[in-house]
C-alpha cells in the first residue's frame, strides 16, 4: 500500500514508517540540542549587533522625515502596499483557475532560488516574491533616512541587510523546497543528520554557532596539507621558525623570511604542492624561513604589539641572520603581519638598524582612514564589547573574529552552508581552503585592543604617528625598497586603502601590484592555474583612481613579476643551505607544533 502526497511522490507504508522513526530521532536530538545550549559559554551581547542607540536614532530620523516630507514617505508606503496586494490578488487568481500554477514572475535572478519550484509552484513562488517585496521595502526605508550621520547610516544599512539575509525563506525548512524534497527522498534521514551536524558544530565551539565549512576529518597537517619539507630551527613564546629544505642546488645569498597573519595559520601559503607559494619560492632558489605564530591562550593576556615586534619580528630577523651568516634579510608581511612589518621597519629606521634589504606587503593596511566594510564593527559599542570580552577571557576568541568575517559575506559563508549542513543534512566538502578558514587563532587581549583602538579606530600610524617601544613611529620612516601586492575585490584590506598607505611610506623604491580576486585567492594564485591577471603602474604619484587609470593589465599570476623584483634584491647564487647546517639543534619537522594547536583549547 502507498500514500500519495498532493503533487508529491508516492510513499510506501515502509517509507512512512521510516520517516516517523526518523522524526522521533529528531525529537530526541532536539532535547540534546537544548542541553548543549543550556551549558553554552556566553559572550557579551554587544558582539551580536549594534546597541539600541543606533535603531533609536534611525527611528527618530524616520519620524523626522515623515514630518518634514510626508508625501515621500506615503509614496513609498503606498508602493509597498500596492505591490503586496497585487501580489496576493495574482496568487489568488492563479489558484482560482484550479491549475495550481504560479503567477507571472519577473523577479531578478538569485542563486538562492535556483530550484524550479520557486518559479512554478504557487506556494513557493508566493513566499519568494513576498520576501523580495519586503526586502526592497526595508532597503528603501533605510535609504529614505536622511537625518543621520553617514557613518551611522552605513551601519544601519549593514545590519538591516543582515536581517534581510537572515529572513530569506531558503533558510527555513518549511519554505525551502530543496530541503523538503531531500527530507522526503531520504525518509527523514537528512533531518536527523542535519540536527547532528548542528549539535556537533555547537559542541566544537562551546555553544557558539560557527558553521563548519569543511570536513575536518579529511585533512591532517604535514600529511596532506602543509607538506613542504622543512625543520623547526627556533622556538620562543611567540613563534616557531621553520627553515624549509631547498629544492635547488644553488640559492640566493640573501635569505627570505615570511611573516603570516596571526589571526590565521601560516599554511594558507602551503596548502598543497600545486598552489603552494612556499614550494614556488623554494623552486626560485630562495633560502626560505616561515614564522609560525603561537595560538595564544589566557596566559598571553598582557602580550602586546611590542611583544610581536620585539620577540617576533626582531627575534626572527636575528635568528635568520645567525643561521645563514648574512647581515641582511628580505621580509614578507601578510595582512596584519604587513601592518606590523611597517611598524617594525619604522622602528629599525629609528634605531639605525639596516638588517632589512627589502620588504614585501601582501594585502596590508597601514592607513585606516577609510574602514570600508569593517566600519560597522569599529564603532565604540562593538569595540567596547570586545574589550569587555578580552578582559573576561584574556584573549579575543577566534570564534568572535570568525563570525565577524563570515557575516561580511553572510549568504556565502553563513546561510548557504548552514542550509546545506543543518537542513539538507549534507557533510561539508573536503576543501583545503575552507579547512584552513575554519582553523583560526585567538588574539592576546592587550594586542587586540592596541590594534583595534590605536591603529584601526584612531589611525595613529598614518595620522600623527604611533608610540611603541620608546619610539614615535610614522609611515614616512619606512624607507627600504618595497613591493606591495593588493587584491582588486578584497573586502578585508581594500586595494585602494592599501595603496593609500604605501604612498605615505618614505621609500624611493616602491612597486605596487593589484591582482584580480580577493584577500586569499588573489594571493594564492600560482602561475600554473592561469586564472587571475594583475595590474601594474610604475608611477605612484596619483590617487588610487589615477593609478588604476594609468595601469596596464597583464594576464596571469603576479608571482613571476614579484619573483623577478625579489631576485634583483636577493644577491648572488651560492651553495644551497640545509636546516641544521649551522650546527644548531633541530626542534622538529615542519609544520611544527604551534600550528597544530586549536583555538580556545
Q: What is the pLDDT of residues 518-559, one digit of tens each?
A: 999 999 999 998 889 999 999 999 999 999 999 999 999 999
User: What pTM did the predictor assign?
Assistant: 0.87
pLDDT, greater one: 312 or 48? 312
Query: Which pLDDT score is estimated for 5?
Result: 47
How far is Cα 282 from Cα 28, in angstroms, rounded to an integer?
Answer: 54
Q: If you ran DSSP here, which 8-state letter would residue 598 be given?
A: P
> Under a CB-based contact definition with an 8 Å cutoff, are residues 559 and 527 in contact?
yes
pLDDT band at 229 (very low <50, low <70, confident <90, very high): very high
Q: By CB neighbour count within 10 A (0-12 exposed, 13-18 middle, 19+ buried), where does 352 fall?
A: exposed
| CATH 3.30.200.20 for the 230-374+442-596 domain, yes or no | no
- pLDDT of 175 reads 92
Strand, helix or coil for residue 309: helix
Residue 210 has pLDDT above 90, yes or no: no
Is-contact 527 272, C-beta < 8 A?
no
Pairing between β-strand 443-444 and β-strand 395-396 as defined by DSSP bridges: antiparallel
**What is the rounded CA–CA span in Å between residue 435 and residue 85?**
47
| Three-class SS state of 488 | coil
* Mean pLDDT, residues 294-305: 97
Distance, in Å, from the CA atom of 343 to the CA atom of 7, rounded to the nearest integer, reads 66
pLDDT of 352 over the 70 cut: yes
78 confidence band (pLDDT: 50, 70, 90): low
- For 104, residues 6+ apart whose C-beta sits below 8 A from its C-beta are 90
Segment of 102-111, 150-159, 248-257, 397-406 carrying the highest mean pLDDT: 248-257
Check: CB of residue 291 under 8 Å from CB of residue 309. Answer: no
Cα–Cα nearest to 532, from 515, 512, 548: 515
DSSP symbol at 225: B
Contact 420, 171 (CB under 8 A): no
Can you give the residue ranges of every domain in the chain? 53-176, 230-374+442-596
The residue length of the chain stands at 601
Q: What is the mean pLDDT of the chain?
A: 88
Which pLDDT score, from 0 to 100, does residue 28 have? Answer: 78
Identify the bridge partners of residue 252 per DSSP, sorted by sequence position.
573
> For residues 335 and 333, what is the distance between their CA atoms, to the nearest angstrom?
7
How large is the C-alpha radius of gyration of the chain?
A: 27
Catalytically annotated residues: 335
Amino acid at each position: 500500500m502507498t500514500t500519495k502526497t498532493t503533487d508529491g511522490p508516492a510513499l510506501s507504508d515502509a517509507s512512512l514508517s521510516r520517516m516517523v522513526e526518523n522524526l522521533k530521532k529528531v525529537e530526541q536530538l532536539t532535547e540534546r540540542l537544548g542541553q548543549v545550549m543550556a551549558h553554552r559559554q556566553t559572550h557579551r551581547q554587544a558582539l551580536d549587533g549594534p546597541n539600541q542607540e543606533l535603531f533609536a536614532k534611525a527611528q527618530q530620523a524616520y519620524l523626522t522625515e515623515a514630518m518634514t516630507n510626508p508625501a515621500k514617505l506615503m509614496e513609498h508606503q503606498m508602493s509597498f502596499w500596492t505591490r503586496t496586494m497585487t501580489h496576493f490578488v495574482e496568487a489568488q487568481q492563479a489558484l482560482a483557475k484550479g491549475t495550481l500554477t504560479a503567477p507571472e514572475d519577473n523577479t531578478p535572478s538569485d542563486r538562492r532560488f535556483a530550484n524550479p519550484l520557486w518559479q512554478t509552484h504557487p506556494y513557493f513562488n508566493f513566499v519568494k516574491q513576498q520576501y523580495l517585496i519586503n526586502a526592497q521595502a526595508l532597503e528603501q526605508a533605510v535609504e529614505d533616512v536622511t537625518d543621520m550621520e553617514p557613518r551611522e547610516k552605513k551601519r544601519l544599512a549593514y545590519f538591516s541587510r543582515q536581517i534581510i539575509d537572515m529572513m530569506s525563506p531558503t533558510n527555513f525548512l518549511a519554505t525551502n523546497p530543496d530541503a523538503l524534497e531531500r527530507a522526503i527522498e531520504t525518509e527523514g534521514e537528512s533531518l536527523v543528520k542535519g540536527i547532528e551536524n548542528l549539535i556537533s558544530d555547537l559542541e566544537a565551539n562551546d555553544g557558539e554557532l560557527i558553521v563548519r565549512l569543511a570536513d575536518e576529518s579529511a585533512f591532517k597537517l604535514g600529511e596532506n596539507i602543509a607538506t613542504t619539507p622543512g625543520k623547526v630551527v627556533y622556538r620562543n613564546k611567540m613563534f616557531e621558525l621553520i627553515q624549509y629544505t631547498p629544492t635547488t642546488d644553488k640559492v640566493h645569498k640573501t635569505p627570505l623570511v615570511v611573516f603570516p597573519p596571526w589571526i590565521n595559520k601560516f599554511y594558507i601559503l602551503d596548502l598543497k604542492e600545486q598552489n603552494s607559494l612556499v614550494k614556488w619560492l623554494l623552486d626560485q632558489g630562495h633560502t626560505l624561513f616561515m614564522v609560525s605564530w603561537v595560538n595564544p591562550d589566557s596566559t598571553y593576556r598582557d602580550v602586546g604589539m611590542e611583544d610581536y615586534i620585539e620577540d617576533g619580528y626582531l627575534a626572527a630577523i636575528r635568528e635568520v641572520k645567525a643561521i645563514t651568516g648574512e647581515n641582511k634579510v628580505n621580509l614578507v608581511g601578510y595582512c596584519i603581519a604587513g601592518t606590523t612589518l611597517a611598524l617594525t621597519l619604522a622602528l629599525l629606521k629609528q634605531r639605525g638598524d639596516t638588517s632589512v634589504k627589502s620588504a614585501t606587503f601582501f594585502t596590508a593596511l597601514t592607513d585606516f582612514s577609510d574602514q570600508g566594510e569593517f566600519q560597522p564593527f569599529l564603532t565604540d559599542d562593538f569595540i567596547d564589547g570586545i574589550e569587555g570580552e578580552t578582559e573576561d577571557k584574556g584573549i579575543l576568541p577566534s570564534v568572535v573574529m570568525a563570525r565577524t568575517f563570515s557575516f561580511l559575506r553572510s549568504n556565502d559563508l553563513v546561510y548557504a552552508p548552514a542550509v546545506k549542513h543543518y537542513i539538507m543534512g549534507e557533510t561539508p566538502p573536503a576543501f583545503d581552503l575552507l579547512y584552513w578558514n575554519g582553523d583560526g587563532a585567538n588574539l592576546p587581549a592587550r594586542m587586540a585592543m592596541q590594534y583595534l583602538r590605536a591603529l584601526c579606530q584612531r589611525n595613529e600610524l598614518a595620522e600623527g604617528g604611533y608610540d611603541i617601544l620608546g619610539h614615535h613611529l610614522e609611515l614616512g620612516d619606512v624607507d627600504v625598497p618595497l613591493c606591495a601586492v593588493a587584491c582588486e575585490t578584497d573586502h578585508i584590506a581594500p586595494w585602494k586603502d592599501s595603496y593609500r598607505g604605501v604612498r605615505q611610506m618614505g621609500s624611493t623604491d616602491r612597486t605596487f601590484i593589484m591582482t584580480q580576486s580577493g584577500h586569499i585567492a588573489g594571493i594564492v594564485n600560482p602561475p600554473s592555474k592561469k586564472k587571475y591577471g594583475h595590474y601594474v603602474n610604475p608611477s605612484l604619484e596619483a590617487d588610487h583612481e589615477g593609478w588604476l587609470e594609468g595601469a596596464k593589465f597583464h594576464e596571469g599570476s603576479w608571482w613571476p613579476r614579484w619573483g623577478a623584483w625579489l631576485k634583483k634584491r636577493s644577491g648572488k647564487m651560492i651553495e644551497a643551505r640545509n636546516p641544521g647546517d649551522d650546527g644548531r639543534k633541530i626542534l622538529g619537522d615542519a609544520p611544527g607544533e604551534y600550528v597544530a594547536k586549536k583555538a580556545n583549547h
